Copies of this chain bind each other. A is one copy, B any other.
Amino acid sequence: MLGAAGRMGQTVCAAVEAAPDLELVARFDAGDDFSVVAGSGAHVAVDFTIPAVTEANVHALIDAGIHAVVGTTGWTDESRTRVTEHLAQAGPASQGLGVLIAPNFGLSAVLAMTFAAKAARYFESAEVIELHHPDKVDAPSGTARHTARAIAAARAEAGLAPSPDATESGFEARGADVDGVRVHAVRLRGLVAHEEILFGNVGEQLIIRQDSFDRVSFMPGVLLAVREVVTRPGLTVGLENVLDLT
């Protein structure tokens, strides 16, 4: 576990120790020597560190022949490309290595986004409401933005017209426009992180809603990633790509 002393790191360590088919062999954090990891015999490493060091960690893991599951934010197209290239050029010890970078390990959040993208082409209207605790500084949430973009892309591909909207006054009540999809952000004491995606046709509605009440909710997704990354050589981005949704 890289970033073992952080809040997510501690939660992951506890979850790995509680899983009968997994063994925690090393805890690594800022200030530790990487040999703790390289010499641990680990098959898979989980990285919840910080943007400043996560890319270097992943390259070191590839060199050490260890699969990587990465939940740290801050990755760019360029940094992901460097990982792909490193994996392609890696020596014999690193053949078949997998790296999974996921912005979100919440199964309910990832499934909600995935289903929303699939449903999008079949409905005349689509809007997104995200609801969070009031200490959140950005709006709308990254997850909601990501969902709206996926809906917009699916609608464009299916040749749908924009969602109908006759609004002539009061546009400020209509939310943010993310690629043509309206996204509303609610901030309410007592909530944690929630997303509701609404689709409408004449006479019918489909709602996909997910609630994250606690960071322990990410653990099933992290453990699933740890088990699956060893079977997926190369770079995979997004937990949805290791889910079986066929």
Q: Is the CB of A165 within 8 A of B134?
A: yes
For A246, list chain B residues within 8 Å (CB).
246
Q: Does A222 contact B (CB under 8 A)?
A: no
CB distance from A127 to the nearest CB of B (A): 5
For A203, list chain B residues within 8 Å (CB).
190, 212-218
Interface residue from B174, B192, B204, B220 paired with A139 (Cβ < 8 Å): B174
Q: Is the CB of B186 within 8 A of A214?
A: no
Q: Is the CB of A138 within 8 A of B168?
A: yes
Q: Is the CB of B206 within 8 A of A210?
A: yes
For A176, list chain B residues within 8 Å (CB).
170, 172-173
Q: Is the CB of B139 within 8 A of A163?
A: no
Q: Does A19 contact B (CB under 8 A)?
A: no
Contact mask A147-182 → B, CB, 8 Å, 1/0?
Answer: 000000000000000011111111111111100001
Q: How far is the CA of A59 from the CA of B168 in the complex (A)?
A: 35
Q: How far is the CA of A175 from the CA of B168 in the complex (A)?
A: 16
Q: Is the CB of B190 within 8 A of A184?
A: no
Which of A36-44, A50-58, A75-83, A113-121 lies at the interface with chain B? Answer: A113-121
Q: How far is the CA of A204 from the CA of B220 in the complex (A)?
A: 10
Q: Is the CB of A182 within 8 A of B189?
A: no
Interface residue from B171, B204, B209 paired with A212 (Cβ < 8 Å): B204
Which of A20-28, A88-96, A103-111, A230-238 lies at the interface with chain B? Answer: A103-111
Known interface pairs A190-B125, A206-B108, A208-B115; A185-B173 also in contact (CB < 8 Å): yes
Q: Is the CB of A187 within 8 A of B139?
A: no
CB distance from A8 to the nearest CB of B (A): 13
* Sample (26) of A-B pairs whose CB atoms are under 8 Å apart: A108-B199, A111-B122, A111-B206, A112-B206, A115-B115, A118-B245, A123-B189, A125-B187, A135-B164, A136-B167, A137-B169, A165-B187, A166-B187, A170-B185, A172-B172, A173-B175, A173-B185, A188-B198, A188-B200, A189-B200, A190-B200, A190-B202, A203-B212, A206-B211, A207-B210, A213-B213
State the 9 A-B residue pairs at the shortest beta-carbon distance, nearest first: A203-B217, A139-B170, A204-B217, A203-B214, A190-B200, A188-B200, A173-B176, A108-B206, A173-B185
